[in-house]
């Protein structure tokens, strides 16, 4: 029963009994949890009451009050029947009543009669509430009543058309019924005549059965049409009654409209007189205030003169700053020239580094070739020694070959080592030059940002100074002219003075905000400078590490030279020679790692410089916005 009420209320008006409301009613076990059943029924009853008051514009009287706990605990049949009557009335009288009327027409006559009686009782309940509401209609609701009458007329016309259409359908169905009955009688006569023929009798019986089924279907259609016609007649009668009541109410309200118009005219006359009196009183009070304000204005003029003197001092200070900015511009131009020269030098150094890298590659290839030659010569030397031992020749010959081999192998290797030292020195010089260039670029960028900030501040100061001069001239002209001839001019001047004071206060507040923002930006700038200094220190540390590592490499090269000499003389073993080669490979790998670290640090410096420039650009944009806001306030 609970689920039936829930679903039936949902389908009666799905917009009002929506899914969100249905989720508040949980399922339960009917035999166990009767308290949950009572709470669910209470929710449905409250929602039905809201539906009657909001959607159907009716109120449920105490006669229809239902104790839900009795239904849930004791299964009270009378209260349950009353509850179901309310649900059925909401479904039949709702906006989607056509669905339920069609379903009721398909039911038996007893069900139709009971449902119509229940709907009639609920309609009487709604009529009582509507009659009470119509009786309390006030004068401003006449227009609403007229609109309702027009809507009801339209509804009546639509219902009359539907009634005529249904009457036509009824007449057609009756004519079909009469024709079918006549056909049935003729068929009976034929059956009586053809009793001897069994085959024809069976066919006629089948036709008779089909005709009987058609008759039953037509009877059902007739019952449905009659039910719809009765429903529409009742609705038409209700609308006619409501229309008549509304016409009576409109007739009763016609004399009240004339009285209302007359009273409105009187009220407007009294209102105009009150406005005139209030305007005269306000003029008197304004004249008194103007006399007081004229006295206070003299004191304000003195205060403004003091402010003007302070503004003049600020203008003089700004002129000094302009001179300083001119000097800074010349310095910036010289720094730009130096920057261009340094860029050209940097490009030359880059070209040199590319050349040196190419030469280093060639030297490494040459060293690998020489090592191969050295191995080949060692093999030949060993073969010659073996041959000499076998032939028992003089002992001087191998010594002569050793000397020749040592001379041939040591000379080109030492030359290559000297070339590597020279290239190492060149690379160190290039690193120093690059670091100096980076430092100069950072200084130039910081100077350019400071110059832009100073230029914007100068422009703001110049505009403020020119505006203050114009206002001072206007004020001096007003003071020289003396007292004003008209009170209107005096009020205008007072309003302009008040606006000036408000604008000055706003500008002071904005200047304080801008100064606070500038202080914050200066703090950020100092933090960025500290970070740059820290990065420079890291770069210097890495440079020192590189120099130390290069010294170690030089020492290792010297050791390698000594070891090569020892190998040539034949004092080192093969294992020691392999360990020396591994050390050399490790040295090359360390050099490549140091190069990668240097590139990474350079990229970090460029990223920090880019962040610094974007921050400076943001500061300049913020100053421009302040300047435009200031100009907008002045305008």
pLDDT tens, 221-244? Answer: 877 877 787 888 888 888 888 878
Lowest mean pLDDT among 138-142, 179-183, 307-311, 441-445: 138-142
Number of H helices, E strands in the chain: 12, 0
Which carries the bigger pLDDT value, residue 282 or residue 491? 282
Report DSSP letters for 514-563, one per residue.
HHHHHHHHHHHHHHHHHHHHHHHHHHHHHHHHHHHHHHHHHHHHHHHHHH
Q: pLDDT digit string (tens) for 4-40? A: 444 444 445 555 665 666 666 666 555 546 677 777 7
Most confident option among 276-290, 391-405, 415-429, 430-444: 276-290
Strand segments (E) across 147-192: none
Residue 453 near residue 375 (C-beta atoms within 8 A): no
Q: For the beta carbon of residue 352, count every other beta carbon within 10 angstroms.
A: 14
First to last CA, the chain: 76
CA distance linking residue 247 with residue 470, whole number of Å = 73
pLDDT of 309 higher than 80:
no
Q: What is the pLDDT of residue 586?
A: 76
Place of tokens 């009586």: 192
Q: What is the pTM of this model?
A: 0.24
Instruction: Specify whether domain 1-133 bears CATH 1.10.418.10.
Output: yes
Enumerate long-range contacts of 66-75, CB under 8 Å, 24 or more apart.
68/38, 68/41, 68/42, 69/38, 71/38, 71/41, 72/34, 72/35, 72/37, 72/38, 72/41, 73/34, 73/38
What pLDDT is recorded for position 107?
Answer: 73
What is the SS3 assignment for 27-54?
Answer: CCCCCCCHHHHHHHHHHHHHHHHHHHHH
- Residue 136 sits at φ, ψ, to 5 deg, of -95, 20
Angle 234-238-241 from CA coordinates, rounded to 5°: 140
Q: Which pLDDT band, with edges at 50, 70 and 90, does 402 fall under?
A: very low
Encoding tokens for residue 243? 């229309």
Tokens encoding 306: 């003091």
Mean pLDDT over the full length of the chain: 68
Whole-angstrom distance, CA of residue 386 vs CA of residue 382: 6
Average of pLDDT values for 282-306? Answer: 72
pLDDT top residue among 526 and 493: 526
Q: What pLDDT score was predicted for residue 406?
A: 44
Find tokens 């002209």 and name the residue. 477
Confirm if 450 and 618 have CB atoms less than 8 A apart: no
Section 618-629 average pLDDT: 66
Residue owning tokens 């890291």: 538
The percent of residues in the chain predicted with pLDDT above 70, rounded, is 46
Q: What is the mean pLDDT of residues 399-420?
A: 48
Mean pLDDT of 612-626: 67
> Is the pLDDT confidence value at 188 over 70?
yes
- Give the pLDDT score at 451: 55
The predicted model gives 50-61 an average pLDDT of 74
- Rounded mean pLDDT, 564-579: 62
Q: How high is the pLDDT of residue 567? A: 58
- State how far the Cα of 319 lies from the Cα of 316, in Å rounded to an integer: 5
Q: Which of 223-227, 318-322, 430-434, 631-635 has the highest mean pLDDT?
A: 223-227
Query: Residue 472: is its pLDDT beyond 80?
Result: no
Nearest to 566 by CA among 385, 404, 406, 367: 406
Instruction: Give the three-class secondary structure for 84.
Output: helix
pLDDT at residue 439, rounded to an integer: 61
**Interhelix angle 396-481/198-391, nearest 10 degrees:** 130
Distance between CA atoms of 442 and 529, rounded to whole angstroms?
Answer: 10
Evaluate if residue 400 carries a pLDDT over 70.
no
pLDDT more than 90, % of the chain: 0
- Taking alpha carbons only, the member of 423, 408, 424, 403 closest to residue 370 is 408
Residue linked to tokens 């009285």: 259
- Produce one character per residue of 208-229: b if its CB has 16 or more CB atoms within 10 Å, e if not: eeeeeeeeeeeeebbbbbebbb
The answer to whether residues 170 and 229 touch, using CB atoms and an 8 Å cutoff, is yes
Contacts of 456 (CB under 8 A, 6+ apart): 620, 623, 624, 627
Amino acid 398: pLDDT = 43
Question: CA torsion, points 517, 518, 524, 530, in degrees to nearest 10?
Answer: -160
Distance set, CA 353 to CA 265, 358, 418, 429, 607 (Å) = 101, 9, 18, 11, 23
> pLDDT tens digit string along 101-114?
777 777 777 777 77
pLDDT tens per residue across span 500-512: 667 666 666 666 6
Tokens of 93: 């009288």
C-alpha of 603 from chain center: 35
> Distance between CA 242 and CA 118 in Å, rounded?
21
Mean pLDDT of the region 29-58: 73
State pLDDT tens for residues 412-471. Answer: 445 555 666 666 666 666 566 556 656 655 655 665 566 566 566 656 655 665 665 676
- Taking only the tens place, the pLDDT of each residue in 117-151 is 777 777 776 655 544 444 444 445 556 666 766 67
Mean pLDDT of 313-320: 73
pLDDT of residue 51: 79
Res 466: pLDDT: 63
Residue spans of alpha helices (H) in 94-141: 97-105, 109-135
- Taken as a whole, the chain contains a residue count of 635
Range ranked top by mean pLDDT from 99-103, 225-229, 299-303, 565-569:
225-229
pLDDT > 80? residue 245: yes
73-98 confidence digits (pLDDT tens): 777 778 888 888 887 777 777 776 67
pLDDT for the residue 122: 74
pLDDT of 573 > 50? The answer is: yes
* Contact partners, residue 80, CB within 8 Å, separation at least 6: 1, 71
Tell whether the model's pLDDT for residue 165 goes beyond 50: yes
């Amino acid at each position: 029963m609970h689920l039936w009420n829930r679903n039936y209320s949902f389908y009666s008006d799905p917009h009002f009994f929506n899914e969100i409301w249905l989720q508040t009613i949980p399922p339960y076990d009917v035999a166990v949890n009767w308290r949950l059943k009572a709470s669910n029924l209470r929710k449905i009853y409250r929602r039905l009451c809201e539906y009657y008051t909001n959607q159907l514009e009716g109120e449920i009287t105490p006669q229809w009050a239902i104790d839900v706990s009795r239904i849930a605990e004791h299964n009270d049949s009378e209260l349950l029947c009353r509850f179901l009557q309310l649900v059925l009335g909401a479904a039949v009288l709702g906006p989607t009543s056509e669905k339920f009327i069609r379903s009721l027409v398909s039911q038996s006559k007893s069900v139709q009669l009971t449902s119509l009686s229940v709907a009639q009782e609920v309609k009487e309940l709604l009529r009582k509430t509507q009659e009470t509401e119509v009786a309390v209609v006030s004068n401003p609701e006449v227009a609403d009543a007229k609109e309702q009458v027009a809507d009801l007329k339209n509804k009546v016309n639509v219902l009359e058309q539907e009634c005529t259409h249904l009457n036509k359908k009824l007449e057609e169905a009756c004519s079909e019924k009469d024709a079918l009955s006549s056909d049935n009688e003729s068929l009976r006569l034929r059956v009586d005549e053809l009793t001897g023929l069994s085959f024809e009798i069976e066919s006629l019986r089948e036709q008779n059965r089909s005709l009987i089924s058609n008759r039953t279907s037509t009877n059902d259609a007739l019952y449905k049409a009659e039910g719809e016609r009765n429903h529409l007649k009742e609705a038409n009668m209700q609308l006619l009654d409501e229309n008549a009541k509304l016409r009576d109410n409109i007739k009763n309200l016609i004399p009240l409209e004339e009285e209302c118009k007359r009273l409105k005219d009187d009220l407007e006359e009294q209102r105009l007189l009150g406005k005139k009196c209030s305007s005269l009183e306000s003029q008197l009070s304004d004249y008194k205030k103007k006399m007081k304000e004229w006295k206070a204005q003299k004191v304000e003029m003195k205060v403004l003169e003091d402010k003007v003197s302070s503004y003049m001092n600020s203008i003089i200070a700004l002129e000094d700053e302009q001179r300083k900015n001119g000097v800074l511009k010349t310095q910036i131009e010289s720094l730009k020239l130096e920057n261009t020269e340094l860029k050209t030098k940097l490009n030359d150094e880059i070209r040199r580094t590319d050349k040196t890298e190419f030469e280093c590659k060639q030297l490494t290839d040459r060293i690998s070739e020489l090592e191969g030659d050295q191995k080949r010569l060692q093999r030949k030397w060993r073969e010659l020694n073996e041959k000499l031992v076998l032939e028992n020749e003089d002992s001087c010959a191998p010594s002569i070959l050793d000397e020749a081999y040592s001379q041939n192998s040591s000379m080109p290797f030492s030359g290559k080592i000297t070339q590597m030292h020279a290239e190492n020195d060149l690379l160190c010089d290039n690193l120093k030059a690059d670091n100096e260039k980076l430092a100069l670029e950072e200084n130039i960028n910081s100077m350019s940002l400071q110059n832009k900030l100073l230029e914007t501040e100068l422009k703001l100061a110049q505009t403020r100074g020119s505006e203050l001069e114009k206002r001072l001239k206007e004020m001096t002209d007003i003071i020289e002219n003396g007292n004003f001839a008209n009170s209107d001019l005096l009020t205008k001047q007072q309003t302009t003075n008040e606006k000036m004071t408000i604008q000055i206060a706003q500008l002071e507040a904005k200047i304080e905000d801008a100064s606070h923002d500038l202080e914050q930006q200066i703090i950020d700038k100092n933090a960025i400078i500290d970070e740059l200094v820290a990065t420079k220190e890291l770069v210097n540390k890495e440079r020192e590490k590189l120099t130390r590592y290069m010294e170690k490499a030089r020492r290792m090269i010297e050791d390698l030279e000594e070891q090569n000499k020892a190998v040539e003389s034949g004092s080192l073993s093969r294992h020691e020679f392999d360990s020396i080669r591994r050390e050399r490979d490790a040295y090359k790998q360390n050099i490549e790692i140091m190069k990668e670290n240097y590139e990474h640090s350079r990229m970090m410096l460029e990223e920090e410089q880019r962040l610094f420039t974007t921050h400076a650009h943001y500061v300049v944009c913020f100053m421009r916005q302040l300047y435009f806001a200031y100009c907008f306030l002045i305008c």
